[in-house]
Amino acid sequence: MRRIAKVKGVSMSIVLVGSKSNPSKFDCYNDLAGDEPYFVIRADDPLSDSLVELHAYIGAGQAGAAHNKLAEIMALTAEEAPRPSDSPKYRETFAISQSMEAWRSAKMKKAG
């Protein structure tokens, strides 16, 4: 899917990658085990692009870039968090994180 976007005041056509209709080359949704926990960050989340970039920098071992991106995220959320800390979505995020850790640990023990 092509969209017209303005980047620094310049209109350009971009191909949206990583959507339902145009999955990325490394899309893994269909490869998930039936019991494997997963987490989706949607584009309408105001932090989505920054969080995905942070993940990429950390995964590539680019500590300086990761530090800068994290500082950018912290500045964006300093005055007002995107959602309140008592939000059910906020609490569920931690539950998913714990489930991911438990799933990965159990998988490693089985492979052990």
pLDDT tens per residue across span 69-95: 999 999 999 988 888 888 898 899 999
Examine residue 31 and state whether it is found in any structural domain, yes or no: yes
46 inside domain: yes
Q: Is residue 1 part of a domain?
A: no
For residue 15, is it within any domain?
no
pTM of the model: 0.79
Q: Based on the number of CB atoms within 10 Å of its own CB, is 4 exposed (0-12), middle (13-18) or buried (19 or more)? A: exposed
Is 16 among the domain residues? no
What is the domain extent for residue 40? 27-111
Domain count, the chain: 1
Residue 61 structure tokens: 């071992």
Note the pLDDT tens digit of each residue in 31-68.
999 999 999 999 999 899 999 999 999 999 999 999 99
* 69 CB-contact burial (10 Å; exposed 0-12 / middle 13-18 / buried 19+): buried
